[in-house]
Structures are given as C-alpha cells and as structure tokens.
Chain A
Amino acid sequence: MMKRPRLISANPYEKDVKQDENLGDLVGRLPDDILVNIISRLTLKEAARTSVLSSRWKYLWTFTSSLKFDPGRSILRYTLGMNPSEEERSKYINWVNKVLESHRGSINEFKVIFDLGDAHASSITNWIYTAISKRVQSLALYFIHLGPTYTFPQECCNILKNQCGIKSLRYLCFYGVNVTGEILEFFIYNCPLDGLYVVWSSTLSSLKVVGSSTQLKYLGINYCRNLKEVKISAPNLLFFDYTGPKIKLHVENVPQLFDVTIGGSDRVEPGQVISPIVSYFPQLKNLDLRFYADEVYKQFKNCGLPKLRHLTLQVLPCTHKRLFWLASILNKCPILEKLTLKLHSQFFVVGGRVIQHKICRFPLPNPQSSS
C-alpha cells in the first residue's frame, strides 16, 4: 500500500509512558494515519458510521482510500431485470456526488456499481475525472442498464492526458461502458496499467496491446459483440481472459502468459478453438474453457498441451453422461495435476456449484486402457 502522508506529526510514543493505564481510550493512542488505514478496510457505510464515535473520528472517514459504492442487495434485483426507478437512480448518483464532495486525500480504489446509462453521462464522467485527480489506483465502473449504454467520451482522453493522477492508475474495469480501442489504448500506453477488464462494450471493434513498454499483466475482454480483431504482443502478460464472438486473434511475444480463459457461444465451429490456443500458447499452465459444445473438447484428439497443469471445463447437466471425451483430453495433457468441472444449467450456474476432481499426481492412469 502506498504510504500516506502523516496527518498529524505527533510522536506516537509520547503516550507510551502511560501504557499501564489500560482503562484509557485504546484507539486514541493511535496516530491518524493508522486509523485511516483501518477505516479504509471497512465498507463505505461502516467507514462513514465511525464519524459518530467521537469528535476525533468525525472527519477521519473522509480520508478513506477505498470508495466502493456498493448498493447492497438491491443490485441483485436489477441483474434479474427489475429496474430501479429514476428516483432510485438519482439517489445513488447523489450519494456518490456527496461522498466525493466531502472526501479528502487520495484514493486507492474507486468503484461504482448500479443501473446507470448514457442518460447519466455527465455525472459518470465527472466521477472518472475526480477519481483520477485523486490518483486512483483501481478504477471500476459496473453498469447494468437496459437503455442506452454510457459511452466513455473520446475527448476525455485529451483532458486526462495532462493530469498527473493518470500515472497512478494500475487497474481499470469498464463493465457496461461503451469504449473504443483507441480509448483503451490511451489507458494502456499512458498509465502503468497492470490489469484491464472490458465487459459488454458494443462499440469496441479492435484492440491492440502491442509494445515492450506495456506492463499489462491481466487482460480480460468479455461479451464485446462487435469485436473483430485483437492483437497482443505484451511481454509482461500473465493472464488473458476472452469470451465473446469469433475474432481474429494475433498473439506473439507473450513469454509469461501461463493462464488463459477462453469462452464463446455454442455455435463455435469445431477446429477453431483448441488448435489456435495450442499454437499460440504452448506454454500454458492453466486453461479455463468456457464452451459447452462437446465438439470443442473432441479437438483435443488432434493436439495437446504439454505443459498444462490445471484445466477447467464447463459441463451442461444434460451432457454429463457423455463425459467420455474427457479421456481424450487427459491423454493429451501429460502433466495435468488438476481438472475442474463446472456444472452449468442452460441459464444459470447451479447454485455456483463447482465439482472438483483432484487428479492423482503422476503418472496419470491411461484413460484408454481403463475405459
């Protein structure tokens, strides 16, 4: 964690002399920066509630480095299609605005999650400016909205370019935010980004993550339905997660990429998944395949992943009796240590249940002789 400037410069040990008087105010002995460190680990609601403890605590919470505007359980209703009223939306926006107004100091984490869209663009854009001016390290916008999606303004980049706060941004997540490849590349090349996640952006058509200067370690692109092309050449990349339509994927110079998650629709044509993965990522250690089609798994017959240690597969309940194709997979991954099967119904994860089989360590039983 970044070291904060001391809020008060008093020597914390001045009061140490009184250490036998355990009846005193215990926390009162701590300097403000430790109390703010503690407060920053609470939820925003819990943090704000400390304002009422005593006069010393009244404003301490406004220095919290974690601003996560979590609406609680109500967000679950919205994901199930029950929309909030416009009044509820303004209430949420006012909440964020009011807290940002009273907030002092810098922010490590800023996260908004609500049913908001393009109609609320001016507020949202302001939040981004404020968070970046407060040297945010992790910025996450999650919008679940049926109406027009919030579009990240292109001109925003020009304004942000001159802000020194942009040099603190290490993690960026746009969920339900329309962005272009140009905007994402602005962040990749102008911030010391470790992680970038883009989900449900319909305006994203191509993305280039190229260059030895990028220190990106985690890249996730999910459900961007108009995406056509992704180019990756990133020496520091450790993890890549792609789910969405069929795209042109160019990958080179990813010596550290050991973790890959790939998913798509059922209509993926056989022969189009495994062999590109194998040719691009022969060094893979962990692979999570989010396809339901049996066809995809049958492709393992033709090629293998010699270094794979952990494989995760999605299984539909209706196909569970036909798991015989697992045999061909096990045969093609000679040093596999762990196989995880995730059981999905047609629409939802069944209670989030994960069936996990720990495979015995070497040598693997020969699947063909045992079947």
Chain B
Amino acid sequence: MAIMYALKSSDNEIFEVEQKVIEQSETIKKMIEDGAATGEIPLQVSSKTLAKVLEWCKQRQHKTVENENDDNKGKRKKERDEDDDIKEWENKFSDELKADKDVLFDLLLASNYLDLPALLSFLCQLVADMVAGKMPEEIRRMFNIENDFTPEEEKAITAEHGWAFQP
C-alpha cells in the first residue's frame, strides 16, 4: 500500500497524494523526514496552483516508475514513444499556462517555494521562450510591466546598450 499524505492548500482544500509523488519536492521531503508532516501538510499555495503542481509531479513520477520496471529488451523503442508522449503532454501543459499567465507565475513561485528544480527550470524556459525575440513594449504588455522610466531615462538606457537594440 502506498503511503499517502494530505496536502492543504492556502484556501483550505485537501489533496491526498502518494508519498513518492510529493517527495519530488525537496521542501516537503524535508518536512516528512523531519517528522514535521503529521496529519495535514499546510502549504502556502492556492488550490488552483497546487493542482497544477501535482499534475506535473504525477507526470514525472509516472515516467520514472515505468523506466524502473523496464528490462532492456524493447526499451529503446519504448523510450522513443514515451519521449513523444511526454513532449505532447508538456506542450499541452505549456499552452494552458500561456493562456493563464496568473497561474503561470503562481506556479513559478510555487516551484521555487516547494523546491522542484525540474519544474522551475521548465517554467523559466517557458517564460524565456515567450520573451525571446520580442521588443520591450511587447514584453511590458504581455506581463503588465509598468514602465516607470521617463522618456529621457529610457532613451539614455537604450543609448547605453545600443548594441542590444540593433537588429
């Protein structure tokens, strides 16, 4: 029987999760090891974001378990097919986050707080891909960044890093 833990979101929703899945989070793993995790584990993460975090962890867990159970025979082909499946899953996951940037940034914070390096790296790359090739005005609009420079200040910075603004 798998050991289950109850995670409590900041808005008091309970998530029952297998230990193996949630141990990917170094923060929670430490809490469990320290014996601090008896009963419900309260987390400073909203239920909407926590659901996404668990979606990610389950997908990763699924992959590791399957690889452990494989023998060598036929493994290569299976790996190739699996890679395709994971790519497809990740694309879907990315598209949903791109459409809801609020969740995207909450998830970034959560991955940092829960110490999930693979998710953090995945999300940082996702944001970097969204920013790449865009001009400052587009980036500001995309992420609601308020430009608090005066036109003169902005001009001075642009001039200082002239090389960055040339095509």
Cβ of A55 under 8 Å from chain B: yes
Q: Cβ of A52 and Cβ of B158 under 8 Å apart? A: yes
> In this complex, what residue of B is CB-closest to A15?
B109
Q: Cβ of A12 and Cβ of B113 under 8 Å apart? A: yes
Q: Cβ of A54 and Cβ of B132 under 8 Å apart? A: no
The proximity string for A residues 26-43 relative to B, scoring 1 for CB distances below 8 Å and 0 otherwise, is 111111011001110111
The proximity string for A residues 17-31 relative to B, scoring 1 for CB distances below 8 Å and 0 otherwise, is 001001111111111
Cβ of B147 under 8 Å from chain A: yes
Number of B residues near A (Cβ < 8 Å) is 40
Q: Cβ of B102 and Cβ of A41 under 8 Å apart? A: no
Q: Cβ of B131 and Cβ of A25 under 8 Å apart? A: no
Nearest chain A CB to B26 CB, angstrom units? 11
The residues of A that contact B132 with a CB separation of less than 8 Å are 42-43, 46
Cβ of B143 under 8 Å from chain A: yes
Cβ of B51 under 8 Å from chain A: no
Q: Cβ of A53 and Cβ of B124 under 8 Å apart? A: no
> In this complex, what residue of A is CB-closest to B163?
A95
Q: Cβ of B145 and Cβ of A53 under 8 Å apart? A: yes
Q: Which residues of A172-231 have CB atoms within 8 Å of chain B's CB atoms?
A: none
Q: Cβ of B46 and Cβ of A34 under 8 Å apart? A: no
The residues of B that contact A45 with a CB separation of less than 8 Å are 163-164
Q: Which residues of A38-73 have CB atoms within 8 Å of chain B's CB atoms?
A: 38-39, 41-55, 57-58
The proximity string for B residues 1-26 relative to A, scoring 1 for CB distances below 8 Å and 0 otherwise, is 00000000010000000000000000
Nearest chain A CB to B13 CB, angstrom units? 14
Q: Which residues of B131-159 have CB atoms within 8 Å of chain A's CB atoms?
A: 131-133, 135-136, 139-140, 143-149, 154, 157-158
Q: Cβ of A34 and Cβ of B163 under 8 Å apart? A: no
Nearest chain A CB to B58 CB, angstrom units? 23
Across the interface, A49 reaches (CB within 8 A) one of B101, B102, B164, namely B164
Q: Cβ of A49 and Cβ of B136 under 8 Å apart? A: yes
Evaluate whether A55 and B149 lie within 8 angstroms (CB atoms) in the complex, with A23-B144, A46-B131 already known. yes
Nearest chain A CB to B77 CB, angstrom units? 8
Cβ of A13 under 8 Å from chain B: yes
Evaluate whether A48 and B163 lie within 8 angstroms (CB atoms) in the complex, with A23-B144, A28-B145, A55-B148 already known. yes
The residues of A that contact B165 with a CB separation of less than 8 Å are 49
Q: Cβ of B127 and Cβ of A1 under 8 Å apart? A: no
Across the interface, A19 reaches (CB within 8 A) one of B106, B148, B163, namely B106
Nearest chain A CB to B10 CB, angstrom units? 7
Q: Cβ of B44 and Cβ of A27 under 8 Å apart? A: no
Q: Cβ of A27 and Cβ of B149 under 8 Å apart? A: no
Compute how far the CA of A247 lies from the CA of B164 in the bound complex, rounded to whole angstroms: 45
Q: Cβ of A52 and Cβ of B157 under 8 Å apart? A: yes
Cβ of A16 under 8 Å from chain B: yes
Nearest chain B CB to A136 CB, angstrom units? 20
Evaluate whether A38 and B127 lie within 8 angstroms (CB atoms) in the complex, with A48-B161, A49-B136 already known. yes
Q: Cβ of A50 and Cβ of B139 under 8 Å apart? A: yes
Evaluate whether A54 and B102 lie within 8 angstroms (CB atoms) in the complex, with A26-B143, A42-B132 already known. no
The residues of A that contact B76 with a CB separation of less than 8 Å are 337
A-B CB proximity, top 5 nearest: A48-B164, A41-B128, A27-B143, A37-B124, A13-B44
Q: A30-B105, A34-B109 known; 13 other A-B pairs, CB under 8 Å?
A: A1-B121, A16-B46, A25-B145, A25-B146, A26-B101, A27-B143, A37-B124, A46-B132, A49-B136, A51-B164, A53-B140, A54-B147, A54-B148
Binding site for B on A (CB under 8 A): 1, 12-13, 16, 19, 22-31, 33-34, 37-39, 41-55, 57-58, 95, 337
